[in-house]
């Protein structure tokens, strides 16, 4: 069977080239006589993978020297708990609620710290990014949390919020890591699950400034404590070797393509094709505030739920799959991460035009 264009929000497409490389090394990785799935995380082969994944990500994201990068398990969701436990000095944390995941992170934090919602876009169903100024946050907050790209609602921050002096910003980058240039130095912590833009599910990237690693709450479990994995180079316990290995292959591939600026350029091009079509359509609509539109996740609607269902079914027959919107939003959602080729977006838009003509 031919491969489809998979618009899933996650787990999502991986670059075909990376899949082929991984396949070619599957049975015998670099002369080890075994696959990466079978080898010890203490072997020289895995040690090289672990080191290269770290150094390539550092290079691609321009991560300054005063930050550590760790590869952990538990997904971004486990970091919702790790964050208030690791950043725990005054026991206060301020959250920007811009969608489902930031709200979940906020809810978890309330168990461990005095968490407050400093800003929210819930009043308009999270269709925009709430504006903030430093005085909206507590000056003695341990951190301010934001979700950089809102996977479900299809919005993204285009300006990084300013926090009061000395209050670190924590960013969830699960659905836009490596898709656009980010200024890591504006954050104290960045974290993201791999399964959208980086690798198969299983590994989570956490980038933590060094001076923020000594304020962990005493009750913080060893496995949630960032310093545990920093000190052990992400090898405190058995790591998700396979996911980290595929991540390394993705990092190599992105570097060959020209790095994150090159990815951003193509992502902007892809998103423009889809948004331009939506803006000119009298049938399909995207309800997000135009200035806050995501480059990665594009929710859209036809005139009715029946037509949405028909669209999704007919698109699948054309090899355009997983276009159903999240249940919180409904309609459709096209996730166009790094690995979605521009041809996939063009084919989607052509199909949308045809469907519009036939059903309006």
CA atoms within 13 A on the CB side of 47: 4
Q: Identify which of residues 39 and 119 has a Cβ nearer to ligand PLP in the complex.
A: 119
CB of 172 to ligand PLP, least distance (A): 5
Which position among 175, 267, 294, 322 is part of the footprint of ligand PLP (CB under 6 A)? 175
Among 84, 193, 239, 344, binds ligand PLP (CB under 6 A): 193
The correct pick among 32, 77, 110, 281 for binding ligand PLP (CB under 6 A) is: 77
Angle between helices 44-60 and 241-257 (to 10 degrees): 40
Residue 36 DSSP SS3: helix
Given the complex with ligand PLP, which of 196 and 270 has the nearer CB atom?
196
Q: Which H or E run contains 246?
A: helix 241-257
Angle at 172 between CA 341 and CA 139, to 5 degrees: 150
For ligand PLP, the closer of residues 101 and 311 by Cβ is 101
| 71-108 b/e (C-beta count within 10 Å ≥ 16 → b) | bbbbbbebbbbbbbbbbbeeebbbbbbbbbbbbebbeb
Is 72 a residue that touches ligand PLP (CB under 6 A)? Answer: no
Residue 147 as a binder of ligand PLP (CB under 6 A): the answer is: yes
Nearest-Å Rg of the Cα atoms of the chain is 21
The residue among 169 and 307 lying less far from ligand PLP, judged by its C-beta, is 169
Which range in 42-50, 74-82, 219-227, 240-248 contacts ligand PLP by CB under 6 A?
Answer: 74-82
Q: State the nearest-atom distance from the C-beta of 333 to ligand PLP, in Å.
A: 12
Q: Which is nearer to ligand PLP, 10 or 319 (CB)?
A: 10
Q: Which helix (H) or strand (E) holds 343?
A: helix 342-359
What sign has the CA pseudo-torsion 174, 180, 184, 186?
negative
Interface with ligand PLP (CB under 6 A), residue from 68, 81, 172, 180 = 172
Would you say 190 or 278 has its CB closer to ligand PLP? 190
Collapse the DSSP code of 192 into the 3-class scheme (helix H, G, I; strand E, B; otherwise coil) and give the result. Answer: strand
Query: Is residue 101 near ligand PLP by the rule CB under 6 A?
Result: yes
Q: Determine if 151 is a binding residue for ligand PLP (CB under 6 A).
A: yes
What is the DSSP-derived secondary structure letter of residue 42?
A: T
The only residue of 56, 63, 72, 76 in contact with ligand PLP, by rule CB under 6 A: 76
Query: How far, in Å, CA of 112 to CA of 94, rounded?
Result: 13
# chain residues binding ligand PLP, by CB under 6 A: 12
Q: Measure the CA–CA gap between 346 and 338, rounded to whole angstroms.
A: 15
Footprint of ligand PLP on this chain (CB under 6 A)? 10, 75-77, 101, 147, 151, 172, 174-175, 193, 196
């Amino acid at each position: 069977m031919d491969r489809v264009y998979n618009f899933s929000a996650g787990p999502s497409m991986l670059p075909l080239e990376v899949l082929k490389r991984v396949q070619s090394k599957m049975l015998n990785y670099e002369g080890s006589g075994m696959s990466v799935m079978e080898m010890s995380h203490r072997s020289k082969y895995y040690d090289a993978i672990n080191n290269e994944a770290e150094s390539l990500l550092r290079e691609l994201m321009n991560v300054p020297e005063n930050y550590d990068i760790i590869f952990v398990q538990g997904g971004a969701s486990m970091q919702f708990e790790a964050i208030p436990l690791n950043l725990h000095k005054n026991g206060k944390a301020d959250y920007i609620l811009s969608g489902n995941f930031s709200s979940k992170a906020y809810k978890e934090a309330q168990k461990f710290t005095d968490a407050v919602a400093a800003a929210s876009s819930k009043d308009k169903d999270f269709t925009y990014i709430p504006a903030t100024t430093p005085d909206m946050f507590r000056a003695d907050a341990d951190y301010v949390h934001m979700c950089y790209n809102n996977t479900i609602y299809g919005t993204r921050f285009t300006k990084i919020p300013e926090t009061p002096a000395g209050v670190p910003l924590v960013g969830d980058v699960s659905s836009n890591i490596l898709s656009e240039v980010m200024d890591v130095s504006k954050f104290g912590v960045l974290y993201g699950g791999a399964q959208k833009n980086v690798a198969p599910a299983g590994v989570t990237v956490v980038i933590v400034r060094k001076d923020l690693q000594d304020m962990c709450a005493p009750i913080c479990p060893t496995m949630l404590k960032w310093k545990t994995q920093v000190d052990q180079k992400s090898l405190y316990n058995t790591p998700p070797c396979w996911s980290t290995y595929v991540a390394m292959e993705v990092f190599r591939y992105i570097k060959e393509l020209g790095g994150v600026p090159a990815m951003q350029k193509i992502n902007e091009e892809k998103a423009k094709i889809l948004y331009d079509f939506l803006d000119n359509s009298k049938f399909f609509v995207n309800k997000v505030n135009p200035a806050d539109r995501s480059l990665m996740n594009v929710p859209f609607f036809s005139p009715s739920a029946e037509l949405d269902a028909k669209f999704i079914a007919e698109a699948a027959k054309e090899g355009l799959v997983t276009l159903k919107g999240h249940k919180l939003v409904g309609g459709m959602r096209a996730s166009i991460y790094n690995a979605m080729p521009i041809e996939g977006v063009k084919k989607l838009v052509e199909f949308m035009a045809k469907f519009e003509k036939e059903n309006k």
